[in-house]
Structure formats: structure tokens, C-alpha cells
Structure 1
Amino acid sequence: MNAEASLLGGGRAHDDQSLEGTLLRELSEVVPDLRIEDVKPYAVEAATSIDGLNVAVRVFAGRWRGNPDRLALHEGVLLRWFPPDELDRLRLGPATRDLIRRHAAENPPGDRSAAAPPVWDGGSRVVLNGIGVHLHLEDAEGRVLLGLRHPDSKYAGDTWHYLAGRCEQESALACLVREAWEEAGLVIDPADAELAHVVHVVDAPGSLPLMQLVFRARRWEGTPEVREPDKCLTWQWWPRHELPDRIVSYTSTAITAISEGRPYSQMGW
């Protein structure tokens, strides 16, 4: 059974001097090393208690610059960052999902005052790079499989891209296998996949650097099908020298580099 996701928090104790004090106490008990910045009241939400009573829940918003893997979690299973457009993949209450999306809509990434800070390694100035995993498939004619991203996609809408995803609490190969099945119904044996290229990307000044790993699968089972229509509209095989005009730039770079036998490239530095 999958664990249910939720926001950090808890109930007020008799010794708490304020609701903010309750929040800070709960955080110190659940994740002692978590230090939240700019904690401010955000909303009051209605909830139902285990006794069936309607109760008001004060929701706070704050900022944190850390890596959840480095925190000692005293309650729960694990902590992870999730972008709002991936919330449907979690077992999350509808009210909590709506709350998070409302906050994200009110604080878009373009708003410098509200944008999430870069992720740092503890208190040092070492930037933790994000890891992306991509699938490079070629058919018998040497054509490459690409997907047309939904126009409303948060990243690269209405643009052709590899089958791809971000690593969660898993290995890169496990992520590749999972994404191939979830996005396109393809079954890949990890033993049939090999690292073909790495692109080190900075999409925009000040953004988190991404290490994009491109794996080539020599064999697979299944025919590409659209399984996540909110992300991908169609799959299509493209000749390597006749790629679409609207293609993610580092995808095009990786395809060219793989055809030339180059293992590494970088963009945006």
C-alpha cells in the first residue's frame, strides 16, 4: 500500500503560546534539523475531525533551502519536494491538493520574492544539482522516439521531447523503467539499458542546474501509447537528421551527440 502524503503540522498543545508556536514545536518534534524562514499565516481551511466535527486549521507558509535526504525524520516515512503539477500522482487529500495549487498560482516562479530558493547542501554553498532521466529509443530504421508535450505543460509546452522524468527516491535506472511504463506503456529491463549521454544544463540564470542522463535501451516490450494525456499528446518516431523544429534544445543536442559518439555536453554555463 502506498503511504498517504500530507503537509507537516499537528495539533495545538496546552503549553503553546500561539498557533505559530504550535507549528514550530511540531516541526522540531518531527524534523529537528528543519529551519523554516519567513513563516507567515497563509490561510484558514475547514477540516473534519475524527469525531465528525468541523474544525478550522491555520495554514502557514515559509521558506527552506535544504535537501530532505539530509534530515532526520522522527515521524512519517520520508520528505520530498514535489512540483504542483505532479500532485495527482500522490495519495493526497483533495483539500490539501487544492490548497497547494492555489498557493502556487498566487506565487508564480516569475515572482522573485516568492520563488523557491536554490537547493543548497546543508549550510554550505555547494549547489545540489537536480537529476533528470531520459529514454533514447531508436527503431529498426534508426528513428528516435519523441513525445509532443501538452500545451499547458509547466515545462516545454507544445514542444517535442524525450520520454523523461525526475529521479525520486530511486536509482536512475529504476526511474527510467518506471517512467517508460507510466508515460508510454513500455517495459524495459534495466539490463538492456546503458548510459548514452549526459547533458549538464542551466535552463535560466539563477535556476537549479540539472544533470540530464540519457539512457539508450537496446530492447523493450510494447508499442508507445499515451498514458498521461495531461503531459504528452502523442508519440512519434523521428529521423535523427529531420528532427521537429519545436524540440527541447538539450534533447536535440543529446541526439546529435549520441549519433557522433560523444558522451557529454553542457548548455547554459
Structure 2
Amino acid sequence: MGVMQERYRSIVDVHVILYQDGQILLLERRATGYADGKLHLPSGHLEEGEPLHAGAAREAREEVGVALDPGHLTLAAVVHHRQREDLARVGMFFVATRWSGQPHVAEPHKAGKLVWADPSLLPSNTIDYPAAGIRAWLNNAGYVPHGW
């Protein structure tokens, strides 16, 4: 009897596009060791036993201090991101047009300032991975591979 090979598993990321008055909210990464000084959406890893939309709402609360009803989130795009040869991630991008609370840097040890930006004219220091998800949303692409 042969050795059973473990099934492939990928990291699942949830990203939140907070969209208001034609602009989206980006955070400047700081002191994380990954893409510090660059802009990213509120995002993070899905946790065990957590539905995608609940994970997205949790990340928005943790990172920018807003309360979202997961039922009001719309799946905007899926990005299969190849971070490096031996690591891929599946990014689920959700759009929120309603929330309560004023966005602020809720994790100052991980983020610098907040930036409202026109999604069709992203700042040049926006990380490529979330930029791919934002472009997919704007173009109604649904799914895009990134880095393959």
C-alpha cells in the first residue's frame, strides 16, 4: 500500500474594498516585514471554520475599525496569486458600500496612514496583488490569475 499524498492546500485571503464617493480605502503597511511602505486593502487570512464573508468583515473591523454586515458584502473578484514558486494564495475580494464607524488605523503596529484613492488611478505604491483584484472588480472579470 502506497503512502497517501496530502492534498494540496492553499492560503485563502479575504480583502475588503470599502467603496464610497468613487474612492476606495487603502492602508499603508508598516513594520510587518512584507511590502512595508506600500498600500494594501484591509485584508488577511481566512480562519478555520470561518465563512468567507464573515472573515472579510472581521478583517475590516480589525484593521480599520469599521463594522460591516457580512450579508451586505458583494463578492467582487477572485485572484489566484502566485506569491513565489512554492506559494500560492486565493484572494477573495469583497466590496462594501455600507458600514458603521469611521475608518481609522486600528492596528498602528502594522499600518501607517489610510489613503482614499480613485480605484481606476491607484497610487504607484499599491501592492500588485490587491491591485489585480481591484482591476478585476472594475473590469467585471470575476476571476484572474496573477503571477503565474
**TM-score, normalized by the shorter chain, greater than 0.5:** yes
Equivalence map 1:86-125=2 (5 Å):
123-124=4-5
How many correspondences in the alignment?
145
Pairing 1:136–2:5 present: no
Q: Relative to 1, partners in 2 of residues 1:203 and 1:223: Cα closer, same or farther, differing over 3 Å?
A: same
Equivalence map 1:22-37=2 (5 Å):
none
Unaligned runs of 5+ in 2: none
1:236 aligned to 103, 115, 118, which one? 115
Match for residue 183 of structure 1?
Answer: 63
Hey, what's the Cα distance between the residues in 1 that align with 2:85 and 2:12? 18
Equivalence map 1:168-247=2 (5 Å):
168-169=47-48, 170-207=50-87, 209-247=88-126
Q: What is the Cα deviation at residue 218 of structure 1? A: 2.5
Hey, what's the Cα distance between the residues in 1 that align with 2:40 and 2:67? 19
**Higher-RCO chain (CA-CA 8 Å, sequence separation at least 6):** 2
Unaligned runs of 5+ in 1: 1-121
CA RMSD of superposed structures (Å): 1.5
1:166 aligned to 45, 52, 66, which one? 45
Q: Percent identity?
A: 32
The AA in structure 1 aligned to 2:20 is D
Structure with the larger strand share:
2
Q: What is the Cα deviation at residue 192 of structure 1? A: 0.6
The AA in structure 1 aligned to 2:124 is D
TM-score by length of 1: 0.52
Larger Rg: 1
Hey, what's the Cα distance between the residues in 2 that align with 1:229 and 1:123? 44
CA deviation digits over 1:225-268, x for unaligned, max 9? 11101111111110123211111102111111211111010112
Q: 4+ runs of 1 displaced by more than 6 Å? A: none
TM-score by length of 2: 0.91
Hey, what's the Cα distance between the residues in 2 that align with 1:139 and 1:128? 35
Match for residue 132 of structure 2?
Answer: 253
